[in-house]
Amino acid sequence: MGKIAVIGTGYVGLVSAVGFASLGHRVVGMDKDREKVEKLKRGELPFFEEGLEDYLRSALESGKLEFTDDVSYAVEGSRYIFVAVNTPMDEDGSADLTQLLEAGRNIARNLKNFSIIIIRSTAPIGSLEALERVFEVEGRRKGIDYELAYNPEFLREGTGIYDFLNPSRIVVGADRKEIAEEIMSLYEKINAPKIITSIKDAQLIKYASNAFLAMRVSFINEIAGICEAMGADVFTVAEGIGLDPRIGRTYLQPGPGYSGPCLPKDLMALIRMAEENHYSAEFLEAIHKRNELQKRRILWRVKEVLGGVLIGKTVSVLGLTFKPNTDDVRNSISIPIITRLLKLGARVKAYDPMGGDNARKIFENVEIFQDPYSALDGSDVVLILTAWKDFRDIDWKKVKDSVKNPVIIDSVGVLRGLNMEGWKVWMVGRGYL
């Protein structure tokens, strides 16, 4: 097997680079951030991901993995070039391809031998055609100097390296079957369903998968609202639904809405792709609308507790990351909710077991503490936004004596089953307990 280059060492790129090296391939990870590269060379992660650091250090020690900030070094001699740069959501909801096209331009300018360029980034229909034009402008000929393919990732933050080595499926899309088969051979040590298809089909598999997951979250939040209105328990309902093998249990956890670096942007990009191709994706739009409503419902509960006026009130927020067991706050549900609380005049004190440092880069007017007790001191209402199990270990009896008003809005149901005597608790899908 030839050398593998991975362009971009964000979450997807780094997990992919470490994963391929762990499979025995020679890999060079490239990132233009020199400080990050030096950190990776020392075996240090730029973000928290359980288990990944051990794999990283093992791959470095074996000599199978190295890092560079020099794109020419990464590209030279690489038979396979995986591109894993960010494709964030643009203002109109479509995918911003700036970084993807820049990466393509840099690769094209440094190609010396034939390479297979595999897009690992989540990229919409038409993006690979745009890359072809970039390569054409740089004088590179498809089929002679390079080939393009698409290999979507299905990695969950918190279990990324496990998911790479134990995937639910591996999908490779290419115009030529032999190219797709060659890429698939990189995964020969992995026992998983393997699908070879067209580039467009591979792209839509990725987008449709995330849209479906977003739909499940919006669905269970809709059911949660119905349960609250009728006096039922959404957690019991979700358990009963999930036992149906046609449905399953995953992504049936009610909460303040889906968020994070993938589901929101991928759903909106799919909606925009449909519109650009003269199809109105009304069902997908309803998923997004329901998610926006869920955020507002949580805010309504806070305002209700505080009598509609937040000026001079202290809201203690527990949970800033988009999900537990990560330090990632990108597109977290906490961002729009806290931003709105601040605009309404509230003082916001916050705590997160891992995301505090990253959150400080986003929020200027939020007091973020190193422990939950400092964040809860003097609170008029406690708002739980992330289902960290750590919050169950808080001495709530002790906290009750330090708050102004013993009320909790548990938007994720993390306090289920605890004795919260002396507290007034509103829980998603159950109402006031």
CATH number of domain containing 107 = 3.40.50.720
169 and 279 housed in the same domain: no
Find tokens 């595999």 and name the residue: 118
Task: Please check whether residues 183 and 213 belong to one and the same domain.
Answer: no
HSE (side-chain half, CA atoms, 13 Å) at 292 = 8
Q: What's the domain range around 91? A: 3-197
Q: Can you give the pLDDT at residue 261?
A: 87
DSSP conformational letter for 413: -
Q: Does residue 209 share a domain with residue 107?
A: no
Distance separating alpha carbons of residues 298 and 255, to the nearest angstrom: 9
Say whether both 363 and 295 belong to one domain: yes
Residues 160 and 290 in one domain: no
Measured in Å, how far apart are the chain's first and last C-alpha atoms?
60
What distance in Å separates the CA atoms of residue 258 and residue 289, rounded to the nearest whole number? 12
pLDDT of residue 317: 98
For residue 388, what pLDDT is reported?
Answer: 96
Instruction: Collect all residues with Cβ–Cβ distance below 8 Å to 18 and sequence separation of at least 6.
Output: 52, 55, 56, 59, 65, 161, 164
Tell me, yes or no, whether 284 and 390 share the same domain: yes
Indicate the helix (H) or strand (E) that contains 115.
strand 115-119
417 and 321, same structural domain? yes
DSSP conformation class of 9:
-
- Specify the amino acid at residue 381: V
Domain boundary among 152, 181, 197: 197
> Total domain count for the chain?
2
Distance CA 388, CA 372 (A): 12
DSSP 237-252: HHHHHHTSTTT-STT-
Q: Are residues 187 and 216 in the same domain?
A: no
The residue from 165, 197, 229 where one domain ends is 197
Burial (Cβ within 10 Å: 0-12, 13-18, ≥19) of residue 370: exposed
The answer on 203 and 188 residing in a single domain is no
Residue that finishes a domain, picked among 135, 163, 197: 197
Q: Of residues 97, 215, 234, 262, which has the active-site annotation?
A: 262
Residue with tokens 């008003």: 405
Whether residue 218 is found in the same domain as residue 331: yes
Residues 296 and 192 in one domain: no
Same domain, 178 and 262: no
pLDDT the model gives residue 152: 97
Residue 349 DSSP SS3: strand
pLDDT tens for the chain, 433 residues: list them. 689 999 999 999 999 999 999 999 999 999 999 999 999 999 999 998 889 999 999 999 999 999 999 999 999 999 999 999 999 888 888 889 999 999 999 999 999 999 999 999 999 999 999 999 999 999 999 999 999 999 999 999 889 999 999 999 999 999 999 999 999 999 999 999 999 999 999 999 999 999 999 999 999 999 999 999 999 999 999 999 999 999 999 999 999 999 988 999 999 999 999 999 999 999 999 999 999 999 999 999 999 999 999 999 999 999 999 999 999 998 899 999 999 999 999 999 999 999 999 999 999 899 999 999 999 999 999 999 999 999 999 999 999 999 999 999 999 999 999 999 999 999 999 998 8
- Whole-number Å distance between alpha carbons of 411 and 382: 10
Active site includes 227? no
How far, CA to CA in Å, does 373 sit from each of 21, 167, 401?
43, 40, 11
